[in-house]
Amino acid sequence: MKIDYHTHHERCGHAKGSLRDMIEAAVALGLDQIGLADHSPFFHREEDRPVPDMTMAKSEFPRYVAEMARLREEYKGRIDVRLGVESDYIPGWAEAYGRIYADYPLDYIIGSVHYVDGIHVFSRRRWQQGNTDPEETYAGYLRLLHEAVRSRQYDIMGHIDAVKGVCPHPVRVLWEETVGIIAESDAAVEINTSGLRKPCQAWFPSLKLIELLIWRNVPLTFGSDAHDPEQLAYDWEHVVTALRELGVRELAAFRRRRRTMVPLPSRMI
Ligand SMILES: [Zn+2]
Ligand SMILES: [Zn+2]
């Protein structure tokens, strides 16, 4: 099966194309399942849309879910459309976000840490200031990731080593603790290929970390993190081949917050 569970569209303010454009691109690429998972509104903020180039408005969320549900019906038989959201992990707010999502027929929730010390994890600003310690930034990121996993609000943990994305200095990180926390949580981890578009030019997570996750039986899924229909299923073939070489035969898929495993295709390159 060919799947992609991490896609964005124009609602967030920094992606191209509509939900329909993304689904059409998925059909053209021969995907069996397309997961729509735009950035969650900032439900913890007072304003309706405090950061217009980052997320949709709070008041837009019901329309987002309704449009996804309509398109799922319309495309039935051609492609399986799954309804999701990429939820920011905001310390102290994970449960409140979970209560909001419970009112909607979502198939899955991706939990992502996007902010460390108030600065976006993919912002080069942190490093351009010249006074940021990579070790401290990594430690701060991992603390938040551990909290996010332990909140048990998420079906998929998003781009789990995103902190390396624009970090200019290599940092030695022992991932065993993090992988152990994830393994105990029942969350799946996505292989997110958007890191290839970042300075690190690598998947999230890196191959070594993927090996640790496999060793601890953490279910894996695939997400291109496409912000443009052209980025859909990006590097899928290499991911399939690498996972098969590591002995993986299934990927995690989600329906109404329940995980099922679907077969990974045979090696593609
Ligand atoms: Zn985005
Ligand atoms: Zn993200």
In the chain, what are the domains?
Answer: 3-263 (3.20.20.140)
Distance between Cα 62 and ligand 2 center (Å):
21
Distance between Cα 242 and ligand 1 center (Å):
26
Give the tens place of pLDDT for each residue, 170-225.
899 999 999 999 999 999 999 999 999 999 999 999 999 999 999 999 999 999 99
pLDDT at 130 over 90: no
- What pLDDT is attached to residue 168? 85
The owner of tokens 């070594």 is: 208
Distance between Cα 120 and ligand 2 center (Å):
10
User: What DSSP character marks residue 229?
Assistant: G
Give the tens place of pLDDT for each residue, 102-118.
999 999 999 999 999 99
Structure tokens at 195: 């890191």
pLDDT at 269 over 70: no
Helix (H) or strand (E) holding 67: helix 61-74
Residue scoring higher pLDDT (268 or 243): 243
Distance between Cα 86 and ligand 2 center (Å):
7
Distance between Cα 216 and ligand 1 center (Å):
29
Residue 251 and residue 1 in contact, taking contact as beta carbons nearer than 8 Å: yes
Residue 22 and residue 9 in contact, taking contact as beta carbons nearer than 8 Å: yes
Distance between Cα 157 and ligand 2 center (Å):
10
Give the tens place of pLDDT for each residue, 70-106.
999 999 999 999 999 999 999 999 999 999 999 999 9
The set of long-range contacts for 183-186, using a CB threshold of 8 Å and a minimum separation of 24, is: 183/213, 183/216, 183/217, 183/218, 185/149, 185/150, 185/152, 186/152
- What pLDDT is attached to residue 266? 86
- What pLDDT is attached to residue 106? 98
